[in-house]
Amino acid sequence: MGEQRVFVWDLSTRLFHWLLAAAVTGAVVTGLQGGALMDWHGRFGLSIVGLLAFRLVWGFVGSTYARFIQFFPTPGKVAAYWRGQWRGEGHNPLGALSVFGLLALLAVQVASGLVGNDDIVFSGPLADLVTKDISNRLTGFHQLLSNALYALVALHVVAVLFYTRRKKRSLIRPMITGWKDNAQGESARGGGIVAFAVAVVVAASAVYGASGVWLPAPPPAPKAVETPNF
């Protein structure tokens, strides 16, 4: 099949990509600033929970190139890519490794952040489900993994710039318009309104569960007993 214009990324995948980039940026900035911005750090974290839940579902019911089975990086695919024999659209095998790594790392980050604390005024919405000692340990883990997150994001940006400047293949334009020029293959199919609705419901449920609003209210603090003066 000759080169042609191919529809690669559906609207839902594109929105997920850019919303996740915005949410991660917001979480990083507010987390580094701390203080009064920690409440916003928590809000960005909850938005990441919803986006990850949406992407998990969309990876099974979305359109062709958004499905995990389509770009799962098997050893054979990775080897073929290194030999220059891999042909396809969507994520290449190395890009797929980056995608799965980033999604997994973000999942661990938000999970630890939901039960973390800053030892001042902020506690994760699910912090009451664990002991203070466990919360402290997971907070340290959360902070440690931030460095790995920075590295993965930087690697992603460098790869995009490499493909754009050295290989003359823009990865940004298709993620904006959905279309890729000079491509080989068929346009994406599937991922209709029913699949989208299911993914949104799962995402909303995940945010509700992670928000902790369903937890019982803490008991009121005991009143101080006044000692009579004689």
Domain containing residue 24: CATH number: 1.20.950.20
Task: Indicate if the pLDDT at residue 53 is higher than 70.
Answer: yes
Mean pLDDT along residues 73-77: 93
Mean pLDDT along residues 95-123: 93
Q: Are 123 and 139 in contact (CB under 8 A)?
A: no
In a domain, 222, yes or no: no
| pLDDT digit string, tens, across residues 83-102 | 988 888 999 998 999 999 99
| pLDDT digit string, tens, across residues 175-212 | 999 999 888 889 999 999 999 999 999 999 999 999 99
Q: Are 50 and 203 in contact (CB under 8 A)?
A: yes
In a domain, 226, yes or no: no
How would you class 54 by CB atoms within 10 Å of its CB: exposed for 0-12, middle for 13-18, buried for 19 or more? buried
In a domain, 158, yes or no: yes
In a domain, 51, yes or no: yes
Q: Which domain holds residue 109?
A: 4-211
Task: Indicate if the pLDDT at residue 52 is higher than 90.
Answer: yes
The percent of residues above 90 in pLDDT, for the chain, comes to 73
In a domain, 11, yes or no: yes
Could you give the dihedral angle defined by the CA atoms of residues 196, 198, 204 and 210, in that order, rounded to the nearest 10 degrees? Answer: -120
Higher-scoring residue by pLDDT: 163, 142 = 142
Higher-scoring residue by pLDDT: 119, 71 = 71
Give me Rg for the CA atoms of the chain.
22
Please provide the DSSP assignment of 107-149 as one string: HHHHHHHHT-B-SSS-B-TTGGGS-HHHHHHHHHHHHHHHHHH
What sign has the CA pseudo-torsion 100, 57, 10, 108?
Answer: negative
Tokens coding 52:
């990850």
In a domain, 41, yes or no: yes
Domains contained in the chain, number: 1
In a domain, 121, yes or no: yes
Tokens coding 129:
């489900």
Could you give the dihedral angle defined by the CA atoms of residues 50, 52, 55 and 59, in that order, rounded to the nearest 10 degrees? Answer: -140
In a domain, 223, yes or no: no
Task: Indicate if the pLDDT at residue 230 is higher than 80.
Answer: no
Q: Are 73 and 97 in contact (CB under 8 A)?
A: yes
How far apart are alpha carbons 60 and 202 in whole angstroms?
13
Please provide the DSSP assignment of 172-218 as one string: HHHHHHSEEEEE-S----B--HHHHHHHHHHHHHHHHHHHTTTSPPP
